[in-house]
Every structure is written in structure tokens, then in C-alpha cells.
Amino acid sequence: MNPPEWLSRVGVVGCGVMGTGVAELCAVRGLDVVVYGRRETSTDSARERLATSLDRSVRKGRMTETDRKEALSHTSFTTDLGALHDCRIVVECAPEQEPLKREIFTALDRTVTDDDAVLASVTSSLPITRLARATSRPAKVIGTHLFNPAPAMPLAELVPTLLTDDETVRRAEEFLGDALGKQVIHAPDRAGFLVNTLLVPYLLSAVRMVEAGVASATDIDRAMAGGCGHPMGPLALVDLIGLDVIAQVANSLYDEYKEPLHAPPPLLSRMVEAGMLGKKTGIGFHNYRD
């Protein structure tokens, strides 16, 4: 499918797993994408992560070697935010920290020259209005919550604010649906949107069961996978997403709703402080080092 006529160039801010995943999504569908990172070590890591993911797709028969080379030709990496000045949509994929995201949106407001460009965030929990107010063009700011891993997960939550104009909503939906091939649902601008408002309390409940000694992480995961048909258990999912991300989302939900079930359990907080973040560090509720 051809991308919309207005979508000539995509910017991505952030070189982590999500930023690289968004870049891959764009590149394999023929969109030119430039990925910004603050340090060369970050952009080098993102470039390597992208190449590894594309290599895996070739090995598994999901794309040809020609397709792989074509996708790489559509992708560039930079430590100069000014390189995103002519992008028609910029997707912010920074860590789930509101001050950092607000700083990025203020910088993008100064950098992106097209007044009609869409400024989007993949935040999984922060209200988009707070990010929009960091710019002089809140009507052009919208949430585009993608799920990890972005190239594989089919859903995207589209989150307009009370200030987002109709044209921005239309363009963001075209970007997610027509250009990236995602199933798009509209979600309210409230902490957690739709998916995480339901998912995170369930994950936190599983953490509390381990904390209380009700059952082991292995047995809880086996129970939910085997008994409820889930593709993986809740604690394996926490490890996949990252314990630090789950704790940040939980804090955002608790700040918004003040519901005790949203508060991060002490065990989760201690594990984050200990650097036990799940798969990305090799250990979380399960051991991945072997």
C-alpha cells in the first residue's frame, strides 16, 4: 500500500527498543525515516539492533535480502535534532519520564519547520495534554501508543487531546493504519489509555501474589498461560516489557486515579532499584542469563 501523499519523511526521537521498532516499521513499508539519539553510542546501538532484526526476518522467510537492503536504504541515524526539521510526522519514543518528554516536545516545537507537522508520542501512560502544553502548537500533538515489539504487535491506540485538531487526528490515523498497517483504536486522553488501564492492575496483582508468597512466578505464569490461554503469563510479560516501565506506568496510573491497586508493590520497586529489570538485564521474575 502506498503511503499517504503528505507523508514524505518520518522522524523518530529515541534509539531504544521502541524507537528502533518504529523505525523498522516505517522502513519496511517504504517510508524514509530518520532516527535521532543524543549520543553516537545510542545511534550505533540502534543501527545494530535494526540490522539484527531485519536479518532475523530474512532468516525466517518474512522478507528477502533485497527487501532488507531496501529497508536499510530508507533509514538514517543522527545526533542532530535539526535533521528532523522537514519531517511531516515526528514520533517521540523516549523513556517514560514526563520531564524528559516535555523537554523533547519543546525542542521539536522549535525544530520542526512545518506548522502542520504531526508531533506524536508513543507514551504508554502519560496524558498527552501535558506533553502538548510544552509546545506552541498543541493542536498538532497526539498520542500514538504502539506496543512492544512494534513490528509484530498489530494494535495502536490513537489518543487525541481536547486540543488536537481534526486534521492531526486524520493524519495520525492514516500514518498508523494506512502507512504502518496497524489496527487503530481511539482511546481517551487519560493515564493508561485503554489497554494499560486494564492490563497493568492485572500485572501488579501477579507481583503482589509473588510478594505475599501465594505462589512462585513460574506457577503463576503457567496458571494463566495454561488455564486462561494467554500467550504468556503476567510475570513473563512484566519481564518482557521491563519492570522499570511497569513501575513508571503504575505510578502514572496512581497519580491520576489514586486507586490502591495501581500503586507499585514494594517488591516491584525494590527489584527496579536493584537493576532487575527483566529480559533487558537478564534477570527479573525469571532468569534469562542462561
Query: Is the pTM higher than 0.85?
Result: yes
Q: What whole-number percentage of the chain has pLDDT above 70?
A: 99
Q: Please check if 60 is assigned to a binding site.
A: yes
2 pLDDT above the threshold of 80: no
Within-domain flag for 282? no
Are 157 and 199 contained in the same domain? no
Q: Which of 24, 92, 96, 157 is catalytic?
A: 157
Residue 157 a catalytic site member: yes
Mean confidence (pLDDT) of the chain: 95
1 pLDDT above the threshold of 60: no
Q: Which of 57, 121, 124, 125 is catalytic?
A: 124
How much is the pLDDT for 173?
Answer: 97
What confidence tier does 79 reach under pLDDT thresholds 50, 70, 90?
A: very high
Within-domain flag for 203? yes
Within-domain flag for 251? yes
153 pLDDT above the threshold of 60: yes
Within-domain flag for 147? yes
Are 248 and 229 contained in the same domain? yes
Q: Which of 24, 121, 125, 145 is catalytic?
A: 145
Q: What whole-number percentage of the chain has pLDDT above 90?
A: 95
Residue 251 a catalytic site member: no
What confidence tier does 192 reach under pLDDT thresholds 50, 70, 90?
A: very high
What distances in angstroms separate CA 228 from CA 154, 200, 236, one per listed residue? 21, 17, 15
Q: Please compute the mean of the pLDDT values over residues 203-214 and round it to a whole number.
A: 98
Within-domain flag for 286? no
62 pLDDT above the threshold of 60: yes
Residue 42 a catalytic site member: no
How much is the pLDDT for 8?
Answer: 81
32 pLDDT above the threshold of 90: yes
How much is the pLDDT for 278?
Answer: 96
How much is the pLDDT for 121?
Answer: 98
Are 135 and 65 contained in the same domain? yes
Q: Please check if 205 is assigned to a binding site.
A: no
How much is the pLDDT for 5?
Answer: 78
Task: Determine the Cα–Cα distance for residues 282 and 290; give it in Å rounded to an integer.
Answer: 9
How much is the pLDDT for 262?
Answer: 96
**Parent domain of 132:** 10-186
Residue 2 a catalytic site member: no
143 pLDDT above the threshold of 60: yes
How much is the pLDDT for 290?
Answer: 75
How many structural domains are present in the chain? 2
Closest CA to 67 of 55, 79, 52: 55
Are 160 and 107 contained in the same domain? yes
How much is the pLDDT for 281?
Answer: 95
pLDDT in tens, 155-177: 999 999 999 999 999 999 999 99
pLDDT in tens, 228-243: 999 999 999 999 999 9
